[in-house]
């Protein structure tokens, strides 16, 4: 029995996001509000099967506090998916997820991501080869409703023939990108179709929905209204590492505050103070620098600053200062000057 089968339903997960859900950010999330499952950023199978593998491997760093942790991969060469699955198994991950929905042009030019929606047979072969290399690890798929239109019979149902452990559906087509509201009614229609066609077996595919989920309450509503087994949340995590706390079974410890260990009230995560957000911003920054100095560009952290530092008097001025920083020490100096109690 794989970990997906052991999870209590509904389950709530953090979406994999390039240059966002790296090991530093996932450790912060695991500490303050752990989702039921975490994903790595997506990683190229071709890259992992090339001489440049060592430069890519930091994208697959993880800690035990993140478990269950799933490695997400992309590409178009079934042979490389097999080889990559062997590597992921060796690295000790809990599962493998195949990205078949990324709309970025450079990914599609390689035949990966959403380009696979136009080639179901290759997509099915990729799942087969990934499973062959995965051993006992569960293999899941994240995709979209279709390429230019919703394609349940042409795309979703053929994928399910390969029995992925979970199918995560981003509720838009490739053509729509993120320019229109997510079509959760279509996700609900897929769930009903699956419940009908798999009513004779206990091995019904697990379906997770994704798209425009704003918070925990909204995630629960999506489960109730559309019948999904789980919900994946992405952009709502920015600036709010407490998002999953109270939503999942995980019970995070109190948020540490310098010089004031008892200052936090029980429900601080539901409405964190400025000081709490800045404290986590600094912790996140220093952890990123500790893990990735000389490996990843420090500027990656700055997309988080835009989210952490917003919605209060003086936020713009503080954010401008932080965006000019090049080291964790500079960030620490600015925050401690603005908020000496931290």
Active-site residue list? 102
Distances (CA, A) of 237 to 107, 112, 131, 255, 326: 24, 26, 31, 17, 24
CB 305 within 8 A of CB 281: yes
The runs of H, that is alpha helices, within the chain are 3-6, 23-32, 45-48, 53-56, 78-91, 105-109, 120-134, 157-160, 184-197, 216-226, 274-292, 302-308, 315-323, 328-338
CB 208 within 8 A of CB 202: no
- As given in the structure block, the two tokens for residue 123 are 């997509």
**Element (DSSP H or E) covering residue 13:** strand 11-14
| Nearest residue to 67 (alpha-carbon basis) of 168, 166, 137 | 137
CB 206 within 8 A of CB 167: yes
Query: What is the residue whose two structure tokens read 């600094």?
Result: 282
Measure CA 178 to chain center: 16
Dihedral sign from CA coordinates of 49, 123, 192, 195? negative
- As given in the structure block, the two tokens for residue 297 are 């560009």
């Amino acid at each position: 029995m794989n970990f997906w089968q052991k999870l209590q339903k509904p389950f709530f997960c953090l979406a994999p996001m390039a240059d966002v859900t790296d090991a530093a950010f996932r450790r912060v999330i695991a500490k303050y509000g752990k989702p039921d499952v975490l994903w790595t950023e997506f990683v190229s199978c071709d890259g992992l099967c090339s001489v440049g593998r060592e430069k890519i491997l930091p994208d697959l760093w993880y800690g035990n506090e993140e478990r269950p942790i799933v490695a997400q991969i992309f590409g178009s060469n079934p042979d490389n998916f097999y080889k990559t699955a062997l590597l992921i198994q060796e690295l000790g991950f809990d599962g493998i997820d195949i990205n078949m929905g990324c709309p970025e042009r450079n990914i599609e030019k390689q035949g990966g991501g959403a380009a696979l929606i136009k080639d179901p047979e290759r997509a099915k072969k990729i799942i087969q080869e990934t499973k062959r290399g995965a051993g006992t690890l569960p293999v899941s798929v994240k995709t979209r409703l279709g390429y230019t239109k919703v394609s349940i019979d042409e795309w979703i149902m053929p994928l399910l023939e390969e029995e992925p452990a979970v199918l995560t559906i981003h509720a838009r087509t490739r053509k729509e990108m993120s320019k229109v509201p997510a079509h959760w009614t279509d996700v609900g229609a897929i769930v009903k179709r699956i419940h009908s066609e798999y009513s004779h077996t206990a091995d019904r595919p697990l379906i997770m929905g994704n798209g425009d989920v704003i918070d925990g309450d909204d995630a629960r509503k999506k489960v109730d209204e559309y019948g999904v087994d789980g919900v994946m949340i992405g952009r709502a995590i920015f600036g709010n590492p407490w998002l999953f706390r109270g939503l999942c079974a995980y019970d995070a410890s109190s948020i540490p505050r310098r010089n004031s260990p008892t200052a936090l009230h029980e429900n601080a995560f539901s409405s964190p103070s400025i000081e709490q957000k800045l404290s986590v911003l600094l912790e996140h920054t220093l952890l990123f620098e500790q893990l990735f100095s000389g490996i990843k560009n420090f500027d990656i952290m700055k997309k988080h600053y835009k989210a952490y530092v917003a919605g209060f008097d003086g936020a713009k001025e503080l954010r401008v200062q932080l965006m000019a920083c090049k080291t964790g020490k500079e960030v620490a100096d600015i925050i401690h000057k603005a908020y000496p109690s931290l």
